Amino acid sequence: MSLENLVNRIGIEAKNRDSKKVDELLYQLCEYENLKILDIYPYQIKSNEKFSQVEVFFDKLESKDFQQKNQEFHSYFKSLEKFEKFFELIWLGSSEFYASYDVPLTLYKDTMYYKFYEREWNEILPKNREESNLINIDDYSMLLSLIKLAVSDHLDVFFIIPEKNIVFRGGGLAFIIYSEQNLDLFEKIANTEGLYIR
């Protein structure tokens, strides 16, 4: 099945609220290679040594970074805000915006990633825990919670936008883009927010 057909099927099944079928199709989607990436850098950084000096992943931060609001803290939050604004604009322009995500089996409540985003975890965890969740995001705070947990690399989330025939997969400071559509509009929005599609 072509990438375009697969993404189209995912959109159809998301509209039908068939989470099991969406999960099966997303699994197939993950097998595709050579895809576009929404990233904080305009090109791939080939030197791991250089990258490790500038990376601002959530897990690199310590409690003191959050208490003192130091440079690492501000760098992480500046990057997070770029993704929040990008997806906010996409969400506002879409009549349907779905999210599919796997609920972690165990949440370690004593860890910083849980304590710092406790409100966000409580918002996305359903009352009756399932292996995965498929929701149409109508609530802005739910969108922000999912983005925060995805950008901090603690939740693997798929954003499905059927009318644009596009799926974003997030985890960390980059989102994989599954689409064969023209991405010019998305690229303009990304560049406006200080992100890059490459």
Question: Structurally, how many domains does the chain consist of?
Answer: 1
CA dihedral for 35, 38, 42, 48, sign (positive or negative): negative
pLDDT exceeds cutoff 70 at 128: no
Residue 81 CB partners (closer than 8 Å, separation 6+): none
Provide the 10 A C-beta neighbour count for residue 140.
11
Range of the structural domain that residue 78 is part of: 3-197
pLDDT digits (tens, 9 = 90+) for 84-105: 999 999 999 999 999 999 877 7
Residue 35, pLDDT score: 92
Residues across the chain:
198
What is the residue-wise DSSP string for 125-155? S-SS--SEEEEE---HHHHHHHHHHHHTTS-
Residue 132, pLDDT score: 63
Residue 22, pLDDT score: 96
For residue 93, the 8-state DSSP code is: T
Specify the pTM: 0.91
pLDDT digits (tens, 9 = 90+) for 10-63: 999 999 999 999 999 999 999 998 899 999 989 888 888 887 777 777 777 776
With 0-12 CB in 10 A as exposed, 13-18 as middle and 19+ as buried, what is 15? middle
Cα separation, 55 vs 92, in Å, equals 30
Residues 91 and 137 sit within 8 Å (Cβ to Cβ): yes
Residues paired with 157 in a beta bridge: 101, 170
Residue 7, pLDDT score: 97
Q: What whole-number percentage of the chain has pLDDT above 70?
A: 92
For residue 92 the two structure tokens come to 């506002």
The model's confidence at residue 74, banded by pLDDT at 50, 70 and 90, is confident
pLDDT exceeds cutoff 60 at 130: no
